[in-house]
Each structure stands twice: as structure tokens, then as C-alpha cells.
């Protein structure tokens, strides 16, 4: 389909996404039904992941988590479409996301040369590009600007999907440029080149490793391999490292909060940083089990 196909798809999202968020939520239940009951989209993967992650829970409890997860997945879908037609003003007005402790990140950002933010597939990761348009519980604005944002991503096999989702994720940014999105294979070179330029590097770090892997130990009751790339870059360049937690409070309400991992990653090994990341992530998942992407084949 190429670039022309991407333009058509993005145009459709702009039109459909222009409707109020409550209109989109009216269709979320239908999408949930299609995914869970008609397509039975990865039902076996979800139940296997849940059973192995929560060996102490009974079948009925696991089914309930699964049910809540698919409801959440339907909402992620419509929120992503709505987001694809939004700007900062619309995001703020919606109150979709509240940043609970901006002062924690601002202190880290102002004290250190560069900051690495480790995110996950909790909440709705497709909303990452709206940082500067979200409300803050304290009224304090985020200390960084658009020019500081660097989102690290893994290129998809489909060029159409890769370009479409890339543009949708960064749609809210007023200046969409190649400098704000960095393909993971280029991150070390890019970070070294810009080591003297203040920046915020954002990674989704809970994927199954597609390159050399490190055995991180047990995560969610399972032996787990992890990538050290994000922690390795932070370690080499002495970044501060912060965990970004995204909790779904209710339909249409998410809370983001920052949890510091270290002020200077050169004083920790990449393995130590990664282990701490997975410890925090596990605590987040156990707090709100339906909030993680259980269709993801994290353990292969």
C-alpha cells in the first residue's frame, strides 16, 4: 500500500477519531466481543500466560482477569484511534491521563544530563506521545519540551503498519520529525552522538528479546529472558533511569507516575537495572492484573 495507503489510513483515523471519546467507548464493547468471543484472539495465549503467572489462583479467578483484560483491550483500541486525531489541548480537556508526581521526574531531569524512561505494556502504551498534553495532579508542568523527546521503537516487518502506528503514536506532537523516533538498532549510535544534548529516551522494555538475551531470573513466576539494550545505553552514558507506571483507574481514566531506579546508571550494571525494572513491573501487574498485555507472547 505504501505511503499513499498510510495517508488514506491516517485520513480515516483523523475523521473517525474526531468524534468525542465517549462515542468511541460506545463501540469498545463490540470490539471486545469480536476479539474475545468471535475471533477468540489468542485466548489460549492469554489463559496460558495467566495460569503460569498466577499459579496460586483458581480457574474462575483467571477467567475473570481474562474477561477484564479483553474489555481493557477493546478500550485500548478505541483510545488509540481517538488519540490519532488529538492534540495537546484535546488531551488536556479530556482528562484521559493524569501524571500524579511530575515533580519526581522534573527533579531527575534537571539534575542529570540525560534521562532514560522505561515503560511497559501496562495501561495504554499507544498514548505515549501525549506526555506534554496530560494533566498533572500537582499543577506542575513537565520540565522537558518536545525537542527533548526520543521514543525508541522496534521496526515492524510490515512497512505500512510500521509507518501508520509510528505516526499515530506521535500524532499529538506539534513538530513530528525523524529525530523524535529512533529505531532500536540505531539507539546507541544516536545516544553517543547526542550525549551532550539534554534528552529523554523512552523505551518499552518488556518485550520478548529479539537479540542477545540476559536471563533475568523469575518474573511473574516464570524463568525470563530480557534485553539489556536500554539499560546498557543508560549505563554507558550515565543516564538517570526512571520507571513509568501507567495504571488504569477506570474507563477513560489513567494515572501515570514516575518511580526512580537510579540517578546515574554508570554506578549500576545493566543487569541490576533490568532486574529492578522487572521487580517494579511485576508489582504493577500484580496490583492490576488486567492492565498488562496478556496476548503478548512474552515467554516463548
* DSSP output for 75-142: HHHHHHHHHTT--HHHHHHHT-EEES-HHHHHHHHHHSSEEEEEE-SBS-GGGGGGGGGSEETTSPPP
pLDDT of residue 185: 81
**Residue 18, helix vs strand vs coil:** coil
Mean pLDDT computed over 57-68: 98
Query: Is residue 110 pLDDT above 90, yes or no?
Result: yes
Query: Is residue 177 pLDDT above 70, yes or no?
Result: no
pLDDT of residue 178: 46
User: What span, in angstroms and rounded, lies between the C-alpha atoms of 33 and 86?
Assistant: 26
Q: How does residue 162 score in pLDDT terms, banded at 50, 70 and 90?
A: low
Q: How does residue 1 score in pLDDT terms, banded at 50, 70 and 90?
A: low
Query: Is residue 133 pLDDT above 80, yes or no?
Result: yes
Query: Is residue 246 pLDDT above 90, yes or no?
Result: yes
Mean of the per-residue pLDDT values of the chain: 91
Mean pLDDT computed over 29-34: 97
User: What span, in angstroms and rounded, lies between the C-alpha atoms of 246 and 194?
Assistant: 28
pLDDT tens track for 194-236: 888 899 999 999 998 877 789 999 999 999 999 999 999 999 9
Nearest Cα neighbor of 205 from 236, 229, 241 is 229
pLDDT of residue 152: 87
Kindly list the distances between the CA atom of residue 29 and the CA atoms of 7, 23, 33, 186, in Å, as whole numbers in the listed order: 28, 12, 6, 39
Nearest Cα neighbor of 240 from 219, 208, 266, 214 is 266
Amino acid at each position: 500500500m505504501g505511503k499513499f495507503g498510510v495517508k488514506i489510513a491516517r485520513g480515516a483515523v483523523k475523521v473517525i477519531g474526531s468524534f468525542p471519546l465517549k462515542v468511541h467507548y460506545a463501540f469498545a464493547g463490540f470490539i471486545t466481543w469480536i476479539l474475545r468471543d468471535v475471533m477468540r484472539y489468542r485466548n489460549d495465549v492469554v489463559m496460558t500466560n495467566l495460569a503460569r503467572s498466577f499459579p496460586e489462583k483458581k480457574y474462575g479467578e483467571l477467567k475473570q482477569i481474562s474477561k477484564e483484560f479483553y474489555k481493557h483491550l477493546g478500550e485500548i483500541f478505541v483510545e488509540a484511534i481517538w488519540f490519532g486525531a488529538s492534540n495537546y489541548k484535546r488531551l488536556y480537556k479530556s482528562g484521559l491521563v493524569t501524571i500524579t508526581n511530575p515533580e519526581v521526574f522534573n527533579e531527575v531531569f534537571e539534575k542529570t544530563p540525560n534521562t532514560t524512561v522505561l515503560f511497559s505494556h501496562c495501561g495504554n502504551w499507544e498514548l505515549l506521545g501525549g506526555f506534554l498534553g496530560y494533566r498533572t495532579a500537582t499543577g506542575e508542568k513537565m520540565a522537558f519540551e518536545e525537542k527533548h523527546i526520543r521514543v525508541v521503537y522496534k521496526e515492524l516487518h510490515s512497512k505500512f503498519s510500521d509507518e501508520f502506528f509510528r505516526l499515530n503514536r506521535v500524532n499529538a506532537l506539534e513538530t513530528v520529525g525523524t529525530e523524535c523516533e529512533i529505531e532500536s538498532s540505531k539507539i546507541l549510535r544516536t545516544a553517543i552522538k547526542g550525549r551532550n544534548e539534554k534528552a529523554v529516551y523512552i523505551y518499552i522494555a518488556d518485550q520478548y528479546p529479539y537479540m542477545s538475551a540476559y536471563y533475568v531470573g523469575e518474573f511473574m513466576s516464570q524463568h525470563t529472558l530480557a534485553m539489556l539494550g536500554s539499560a546498557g545505553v543508560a549505563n554507558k552514558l550515565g543516564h538517570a533511569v526512571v520507571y513509568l507506571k501507567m495504571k488504569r483507574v477506570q474507563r477513560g481514566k489513567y494515572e501515570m507516575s514516575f518511580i526512580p531506579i537510579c540517578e546515574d546508571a554508570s554506578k549500576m550494571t545493566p543487569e541490576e537495572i533490568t532486574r529492578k525494572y522487572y521487580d517494579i513491573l511485576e508489582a504493577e501487574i500484580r496490583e492490576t492484573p488486567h492492565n498488562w498485555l496478556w496476548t503478548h507472547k512474552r515467554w516463548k
